Structure 1
Amino acid sequence: MTAEFNSRNTFRKSGVSSLSTNPRNVITSANPSGGSSASLLQKQLSFKTPICSNQFGKADEVEIIDNSNLDNLAGQYNKNNIIGWICCAPCIWLRTSAAVHKVAITSATLLVTTLLVASPILFLISTAPSPLPRDCYMDGDGCSPTVASTSECTEDICETVSSNIQARLNWNKDPCSEFKKFSCWRRKFNKNVTNIIEMGNSQKSVDIQMLMLLNNSSISENFKKLKILYESCLKLTTNSSDIHRIFNQLGGYLTVGVIGPSSIAPLVAKIYELGPSPLVDIYYDLSYGRRPHVLLIISGPSTSSVILENKIRWMSPKAPPNRLRQGIPNLLPDLIDRVLPSHLSYDQRVSEKETIIEFIKDLNKLQVEQSRRGFWDSSVLYNISSLHSMYPVLNWTLLIPKNWSGPIVVRNADYLKALQSFLTKYPSRIAHNAMLLLSVLEILPKDFPTPEVCTRSTMWALPELASALYISQYSSIDSKDIIKRADIIFKSLKAHLKRAPSLKGAALVKLSALKIQSKTWEGFTNVTQLTKSVERLQITPDNWLENILEIYKTNKIVPNKINMDFSSHDAWAYPIVSTIFYDTLSHSIVVPLSVILIPYFNARLPPYLHYASVGVSIAKEILRSITKSFDDKAMRCVPHSVNIFSNFSRMDILIHSGGMQISYHSMLSLTGPIKGMARLPGLNLTPTQIFFLVSAQELCSESNYLGIDTNATEFDHILGWLIAQGGSATEVFKCPSGSMINIQKTCNVL
């Protein structure tokens, strides 16, 4: 008791300093008990002091408590307790509020989701190579001050192609303002260059090869009839007595003063019986579907076909769709002078000639306009009486086989209606005489006989035998390799189109089902069978007209039994007709062998040459096969200078533009960086620049072959417009703002 009493007195007298030596009465963070009074206080603080109260000081801070002042101390802590509750009221609300709890959970969820989404992006950004300086290029793991040059093609074919492209370039012209003069310039003074100018034109190449084969004295016995037919063409003249004999057989020329017939329908029936008809064509084809049946088709004139076709179209290879040429036949003026009666006066002869030429020009214009509309207005009839009532322009009883009882499909109904209106504008005598001349022109060569003209005419008359002769000079191994590469190009173009955002619905379904047919018909390799099929033909070396009429008569024969099997819908091309086309019946792109045999498609050449030539041609037909809704866009986009193309409509030019766009972007997506492609030797041009140049040179070459005036100003405009649409020509040639190529970018097909 004495010691305890002494300690209390010491507290009263000495304060804090006097108790510093008594460890029992010291409460620290390391020793919270500190004696009995301190223990009681510690319990009170543990249960009554709010969480956020700041009753203790910093670590190791000391508080001295005396037992005699407990009442005062309790009052002091009650005051602190109230202050603590006021201080921590927000904390209590935050802990107990359900709304705050929900907000916290939502915020945490959003934060986690954001991290999950952003993590892959942040990873890709962090792992992407840092951009190089503008004057720095990758050279392995280092930085090179100049562009790493791509490899150069060292093959002989690369040097030949490079020389061919270079021969047509005019470096004095600016491609941004005068693209045609820059890319399709001919050096007329250098005759040696002319031989390689046409290396991109596949049809020209076919004509040259066939001309050499037909003039070969050691030609195989299997192809002797081809050679005889070719020789009979070279001997033909427009003053032939056979021409007058055909005229007389059809009713003769009606001279001035003679009353014309009441209708030309009987004359049309006679012409159809004798040879190709200048007004309509009638043939047999199959319907669509898995179980096809035979249809009788009434179509436009067969006179524009590149081959003399059979009446049964699915039992042999097919020719591309007819493409009518504007204007009059080259032989027409001379032929009129030969057949006009000699007793006519000079004025009568001039008037007669002008009237007939005017009739034929107007008829040609009508047929060209109607053919551009396609077959979207087809109609199906089931008897001849319905045909007579709807289209009375012709006597269908004389044209339709008497034993036919199946469906009759009129491919272009508007054409027949327009034809009836047209024939009423001219006297029947003029119409009669013009029909006579047109019927003879259809069995004559397309121009005055020359070796080149007669070669094309021989291929037209006997296409199957001519195709067999053409492919006989190529091995099957080489053909398989070329066909495989064509399939790869086709798949690449389809893959790019499938990613086009504007391609939807039915068009996308049609694209997915689209096929390519680049294989050669097996019948062309069976020369023995082909030879037997022409044995009955009486081909003579001195009478071209009789030879053609004999061939036409044979083609018109319809067998008693028509074979149809699972392959009836397959389409095959004539390799001698170098035109890729879309076949609606088989829903396939048909590629003739001659198109993919051009030097630009050689396997040793860089891919951009493949896409600039064959790729563009295939892409055009893919585009044509999946949609027909280009009419409005063609009228808005294509410039009026398109009229220079006598064989092409606005739609054709627009599709050509789309083909270039598709092929260009497919090339970029397939091959990766263009700088990885081999350069052509001696040609300081980038691969993308060469793509546009070769595409332009191909079109120039084809236009020259077709007789289009490529020197006309309109041709310059349309070629510049095509290049401007087909890809990124403005960037490729670095054309400034306001240049011709820059301002003519007006139309994206897709």
Structure 2
Amino acid sequence: FRRVGTSVRRPRGLNQLSGMGTLWSQERPPEEGQSTEQSRWWAMARRLIMAVLLLGLLLGSSVLLFYIFRSCGPRPCERPMCWHLLDHYLASGNTSVAPCTDFFSFSCGKAKGTSNSFQALAEENKSRLRRILETPGSWHLGSGEEKAFQFYNSCMDTSAIEAAGAGPLRQVIEELGGWPISGNWTSLDFNRTLRLLMSQYGHFPFFRAYLGPHPHPPHTPVIQIDQPEFDIPLKQEQEQKIYAQIVREYLTYLNQLGTLLGGDPDKVQEHAFLSISITSQLFQFLRPLGQQQAQGKLFQLITIDQLQEMAPAIDWLSCLQATFTPMSLSPSQTIVVHDLDYLKDMSQLVEKQLLSHRDFLQSHMIFGLVGTLSPALDSKFQEAHRSLNQKLWELTERPPVPAHPRWMKCVEDTGDFFEPTLAALFVREAFSPSTRSAAMDLFTAIKDALITRLRRVPWMDEETRKKAQDRVTQLQVKMGGPEWAMEPALARQKYSDVHLGPSFLQSFLSGIRSRQARIVHSSLQPFLHHRWQVSPWRVNAYYSITDHVVVFPAGLLQPPFFHPAYPRAVNFGAAGSIMARELLHIFDQLLLPGGCPACDTHALEGALLCLERHYAAFPLYGVTSFNSSHTVLENAADMGALAMALQAYNKMLLWHRGETTLPNLGLTPQQLFFRSYAQVMCSKLSTQDSQDTHSPPTLRVHGPLSNIPAFARHFHCPRGALLNPSERCQLW
């Protein structure tokens, strides 16, 4: 029986089974009675729709994954600066050459024009200065900017210079007492003429006098007396035939100068020959730098009074006081003398000439002054000087002085005489705060790589390693321009001591005096910061031992070496390797014999020997003479710098995504890094200068690259290829 209000439930499965027959036997409603063919059609349609949806889902996922992976990988840099850099690389490289056997030609094989990448950049910086100076109305009236622009325009006004002819120069000669060859000469006191030449015209016919750092701490500026600079390319050991031809060409040049100034031809030739004779004798008094170093006489500290006793022909106190006004000098003033023996011999020669041929000494000084001032004179004087350079090049095979356009010489002179103004203008235009920030980030990455790398230098002892790391940590870095160049107000200095006109020569001479006064005045001021040795538009980085400062001028951190918009591979490979090289020069002393007594000298000597053998394995393309003993320190810096820059670049890739590469160049970021390093070294192949401390450009590319296993890996170089040797060196 059952309770009221309750029901008995059967299991669910039983109900379904018992009712199954009745369900399928009942007649279907009219709408369910469609034909089997129609049902099959609907089933196929459903399957097709599902397939289309599934295919769309797969395609959409693939596209999404493609864009995800594409955003993670290197993208082509489409900015204008990258396209300009691409054009530069395509114009200089020769990609038909196998990179594993001749990467220098691969990168630089079609480079034309200037002799090297640094010179090309220097000329581009001068072009930028030219654009600044030729922009009308971009200066403040009555300021130093306006005076600088006026000087530049006066230099470019060749019509006025040609119209003036030799007149302004004749006026200068009259102020010096005249010239014996013209028949109008007042025999003035020799030292009075010399004093005027040094102080008013910046000409030093018998020696050089300049302000340089004291050889001992605190390295304050001190007067230095050095050998003179000769316009004739004489050598200590020279064939008699070549010597006679050089003298003949120089005699022709001096005859031209005398004729242009209206001198009697016979007298001109006589005085020109005796002037060359004086130059030749002075040259014979010189001692090679190596001989001075061997004798421990690179410099000597003596007083002016002592120098007066040893070389009495020169009134040293009056000449130096006039040159370095407003310094207050006395006979007890200490100065630095280079090659004291030369000064003694020079004094004896001058005394001898004063007794017998005082007029020849006058002519010798005038000839030298005219040669110095020739760039500020009309085209006849400039052509005579250009012709002399061409003839001397043919005789001595020394590189000829390139014939630059007029605007380039005018930019250089304006920069020399108005450096504070042009420095501020150049830094403001070429080195923005964002550029400086990016350059500082790059330097920090390179410096960190050096500190890390010092931990693994095998030949260093722990104490030396710790001191080396501290040196790097304490290093100061200066970028762009000196502190005063960052102040816009300094660009508008008055330059009240610069007097322009009425002739360009007078403006030029006024600029010489103003520059000298500025140098002396700066040396007298207490200076808390490093004194820059280069102008901001130059391309010379350097390390100052005295201040423990590394300097990178704005002119160096420019395309094609550096730009914030470039792929990071370019900046690390080019500018980064330059920065690393300067940092390694801090430790040059350690690599010299006895420079690191506590180090593992056996391991160090082995690394240096390995380095020497490594560089000796490469052929010297087009270089007829090369002394590897002079390049050891630079080779070590080149090799270590590339390794440091690559280490810093690889670390950057771990922490920063979104690397780019140059479009249409076909190089991965790592390959672009090595290409950018080589691009810095692009240079014409020529005879190696015996005094050059760098290896030929091919070795500066192949030596470091072949020592980096990553280069061979990224360019797929077979084992045993020139740039994938079986042995490598570890110095830094």
User: Do the two structures share a fold, i.e. TM-score over 0.5?
Assistant: yes
Distance in 1 between the 2:612 and 2:290 partners? 20
| Deviation string, structure 1 residues 238-275 (Cα, Å, up to 9, x no partner) | 95332333344445556599xxx999876543321123
Could you tell me whether the CA contact under 8 Å between 2:121 and 2:539 is conserved in 1? yes
Which residue of structure 2 lines up, in the alignment, with residue 227 of structure 1? 149
Change (3 A) 1:391 1:503: farther
| Deviation string, structure 1 residues 254-309 (Cα, Å, up to 9, x no partner) | 6599xxx99987654332112324432233767976xx6955321547989xxxxx
Could you tell me whether the CA contact under 8 Å between 1:725 and 1:746 is conserved in 2? no
Could you tell me whether the CA contact under 8 Å between 1:230 and 1:458 is conserved in 2? yes
Distance in 1 between the 2:674 and 2:492 partners? 45
- Give unpaired runs (5+ residues) of structure 1: 1-147, 189-193, 305-326, 704-709
More deviation, 601-610/429-438: 429-438
1:154 to 2:77 alignment: yes
Q: What displacement does 1:404 show?
A: 2.3
Could you tell me whether the CA contact under 8 Å between 1:378 and 1:413 is conserved in 2? yes
Which residue of structure 1 lines up, in the alignment, with residue 306 of structure 2? 386
- Structure 2 letter corresponding to 1:398: S
Could you tell me whether the CA contact under 8 Å between 1:674 and 1:687 is conserved in 2? no
Q: How does 1:87-166 map to 2 (within 5 A)?
A: 150-156=73-79, 157-166=81-90
Could you tell me whether the CA contact under 8 Å between 1:382 and 1:405 is conserved in 2? no
Distance in 2 between the 1:358 and 1:423 partners? 12
Which residue of structure 2 lines up, in the alignment, with residue 545 of structure 1? 505
Which residue of structure 2 lines up, in the alignment, with residue 712 of structure 1? 686
TM-score between both structures, scaled by the size of structure 1: 0.59
Distance in 1 between the 2:731 and 2:573 partners? 18
| Deviation string, structure 1 residues 403-456 (Cα, Å, up to 9, x no partner) | 425985655623x43465578899967776554444444455496761122112
Distance in 2 between the 1:357 and 1:451 partners? 36
- Structure 2 letter corresponding to 1:385: D
Distance in 2 between the 1:205 and 1:371 partners? 40
Could you tell me whether the CA contact under 8 Å between 1:620 and 1:658 is conserved in 2? no
RMSD value, Cα = 5.6
Distance in 2 between the 1:168 and 1:283 partners? 42
| Deviation string, structure 1 residues 41-68 (Cα, Å, up to 9, x no partner) | xxxxxxxxxxxxxxxxxxxxxxxxxxxx
Change (3 A) 1:725 1:377: farther
Which residue of structure 1 lines up, in the alignment, with residue 564 of structure 2? 603
Distance in 2 between the 1:687 and 1:534 partners? 50
1:398 to 2:318 alignment: yes
Could you tell me whether the CA contact under 8 Å between 1:207 and 1:455 is conserved in 2? yes
Which residue of structure 1 lines up, in the alignment, with residue 28 of structure 2? none
- Structure 2 letter corresponding to 1:283: L
Could you tell me whether the CA contact under 8 Å between 2:449 and 2:644 is conserved in 1? yes
Distance in 1 between the 2:558 and 2:76 partners? 20
- Structure 1 letter corresponding to 2:201: G
Distance in 2 between the 1:255 and 1:643 partners? 48
More deviation, 531-540/554-563: 554-563
Q: 1:465 aligns with which of 421, 427, 445?
A: 421
| Deviation string, structure 1 residues 139-163 (Cα, Å, up to 9, x no partner) | xxxxxxxxx9952333323333233
- Structure 1 letter corresponding to 2:130: L
Change (3 A) 1:239 1:185: farther
Could you tell me whether the CA contact under 8 Å between 2:706 and 2:725 is conserved in 1? no
Distance in 1 between the 2:196 and 2:290 partners? 24
Could you tell me whether the CA contact under 8 Å between 2:101 and 2:723 is conserved in 1? yes
Q: How does 1:183-222 map to 2 (within 5 A)?
A: 183-186=107-110, 201-221=120-140, 222=143
Q: How does 1:215-294 map to 2 (within 5 A)?
A: 215-221=134-140, 222=143, 223-234=145-156, 235=158, 236=161, 240-250=166-176, 268-278=194-204, 279-283=207-211
- Give unpaired runs (5+ residues) of structure 2: 1-70, 231-245, 323-327, 376-400, 594-607
More deviation, 358-367/683-692: 358-367
Change (3 A) 1:250 1:180: farther
Could you tell me whether the CA contact under 8 Å between 1:581 and 1:591 is conserved in 2? yes
Change (3 A) 1:168 1:226: same
> Equivalent residue of 2:477, what SS?
strand
> Equivalent residue of 2:409, what SS?
helix
> Equivalent residue of 2:700, what SS?
helix
Q: 1:618 aligns with which of 579, 584, 598?
A: 579
Q: What displacement does 1:628 show?
A: 4.6
- Structure 2 letter corresponding to 1:275: Y
> Equivalent residue of 1:590, what SS?
strand
TM-score between both structures, scaled by the size of structure 2: 0.61
Could you tell me whether the CA contact under 8 Å between 1:285 and 1:296 is conserved in 2? yes
Q: What displacement does 1:581 show?
A: 1.8
More relative contact order, 1 or 2 (CA 8 Å, 6+ apart): 2
Distance in 1 between the 2:189 and 2:78 partners? 66
Distance in 1 between the 2:343 and 2:729 partners? 35
| Deviation string, structure 1 residues 664-700 (Cα, Å, up to 9, x no partner) | 1112322338998643322233555544443443333
- Structure 1 letter corresponding to 2:341: K
Q: 2:676 aligns with which of 694, 712, 723?
A: 694
More deviation, 429-438/276-285: 429-438
> Equivalent residue of 2:96, what SS?
coil
- Structure 1 letter corresponding to 2:155: C
Could you tell me whether the CA contact under 8 Å between 1:210 and 1:470 is conserved in 2? yes
Distance in 2 between the 1:747 and 1:254 partners? 66
1:663 to 2:635 alignment: no
- Structure 1 letter corresponding to 2:78: E
Q: What displacement does 1:343 show?
A: 6.2
Q: What displacement does 1:589 show?
A: 0.8
Aligned length: 559
Could you tell me whether the CA contact under 8 Å between 2:702 and 2:723 is conserved in 1? yes
- Structure 2 letter corresponding to 1:246: V
Q: 1:684 aligns with which of 666, 669, 684?
A: 666
Q: How does 1:67-78 map to 2 (within 5 A)?
A: none
Q: What displacement does 1:493 show?
A: 5.4
Q: 2:408 aligns with which of 414, 427, 452?
A: 452
Q: How does 1:453-602 map to 2 (within 5 A)?
A: 453-473=409-429, 476-492=432-448, 494-495=450-451, 498-499=454-455, 500-502=457-459, 505=464, 510-518=471-479, 520-540=481-501, 543-557=503-517, 562-564=524-526, 567-569=528-530, 571=532, 574-602=535-563
> Equivalent residue of 1:601, what SS?
coil
Which residue of structure 2 lines up, in the alignment, with residue 724 of structure 1? 702
- Structure 1 letter corresponding to 2:210: I
Distance in 1 between the 2:731 and 2:368 partners? 39
Rg bigger for which structure?
A: 1
| Deviation string, structure 1 residues 501-542 (Cα, Å, up to 9, x no partner) | 4456476665454321125434334444443441342223x6
Could you tell me whether the CA contact under 8 Å between 1:295 and 1:409 is conserved in 2? no
More deviation, 163-172/512-521: 512-521
> Equivalent residue of 2:97, what SS?
coil
Change (3 A) 1:455 1:556: closer
Change (3 A) 1:587 1:339: farther
Distance in 2 between the 1:492 and 1:451 partners? 43
Change (3 A) 1:168 1:354: farther
Distance in 2 between the 1:444 and 1:689 partners? 49
Q: What displacement does 1:176 show?
A: 5.4
Q: What displacement does 1:173 show?
A: 3.3
Change (3 A) 1:282 1:158: closer
Q: How does 1:415-426 map to 2 (within 5 A)?
A: 416-418=340-342
Q: What displacement does 1:209 show?
A: 0.7
Q: What displacement does 1:211 show?
A: 1.0
Q: What displacement does 1:548 show?
A: 2.7
